[in-house]
Structures are given as structure tokens and as C-alpha cells.
Amino acid sequence: MTEAERWRRDFPVTVAETVATARWLDTIAVEQALPGETAYAMQICLEELLGNVLRHGGDDRRASVSVEIDPNRLAMTVEDDARPFDVASAPVKHVHGSLEDLEPGGLGIGLVHDFSDRIEYSRAGLGNRVTVTFTLGKSASETAPGR
């Protein structure tokens, strides 16, 4: 079982399609018996990456999400045709200071960094291409008991 498995979904960037894509990812996670933390991390990254396109990308944008799983890692690639935005190099915000001084929002890019093991950005495919990679433990692809 060393061959990678792949899935891909293309869609217009809308709230409804973002939700539908999240459910599609959940189905893959269940079918592939992915660890709960990996499934959650995929969902976090998906929402943040598509959310950026929804909020800042302009109207009538298209996107694709593809997932590739091999025994050791899961790679999720999100492409969109919005204006160039390098999420891998964008400033990361975490909360610090007081609630009074905190500006709501802007935490999404930090979550993508924190919940993935690697982020790669390039201008390719539809325009912006972001690949987030998650390391899989043995439980995702091997169910043999013990070590």
C-alpha cells in the first residue's frame, strides 16, 4: 500500500460550496479512517484558505481542492483564481495583550501554520496554489497492533 490516493473537487467560491467542500473532506476523512486531529486540521486549513478568497478575492472566483494521501502524509492543495496572495509568507497574528486592545479577526493564517506541518505557495494551476501537508501517524494507514 505505497501508492498515493487522490481526490479533487472544482467549484465556484461561495459560502454554500465552501460548506459542501468541507463535507466532501469529511467524507474522505471517514472513508480513509484519518486520525481525528488530521481531519480537524484539514477542515481548519480549508476554511481559512477559502475564507480568504471569499472575503478578499472578489466576485465570481473559482477554486479547486485536491487531496493526496500516502501512508506517511496527507497533502491538501487549494487553488484559486483570485489576485495573487502568498499565504505562506503573509504575516501571522496571534492574540497577545488585552481584550480591550485586540482587533477581532486576522487569526486564520496563524491557524493554517499551526495546524499544518508544511505550507507551500506558488503561482500555478488556477492562479494561487497552496499545498498544506500533514504528517500521518501509523494509525492512519496501518492498523497493525503494537509497534
Q: Which residues bind another protein (CB under 8 A)?
A: 15, 18-19, 22, 36-37, 40, 43-44, 47-48, 51, 54, 94-100, 102, 104-108, 110-111, 114-115
CA dihedral (108, 46, 120, 35) in degrees, to 10, reads 110
| Shortest Å distance, C-beta 116 to another protein | 12
Ramachandran sector of residue 3 (left: φ over 0; alpha: ψ -120 to 50; beta: rest): beta
- Whole-number minimum distance, CB 17 to another protein, in Å? 11
Backbone angles phi, psi at 9, to 5 degrees: -135, 130
Q: Which is nearer to another protein, 35 or 125 (CB)?
A: 35
Strand, coil or helix: 5: strand
Q: Give the nearest distance from C-beta 144 to another protein in angstroms.
A: 26
Residue type present at position 71: P
| Helix/strand/coil (H/E/C) assignment for every residue in 99-125 | CCCCCCCCCHHHHHHHHCCEEEEEEEC
Least CB distance to another protein at residue 39 (A): 9
Pick the closer one to another protein by CB: 22 or 125: 22
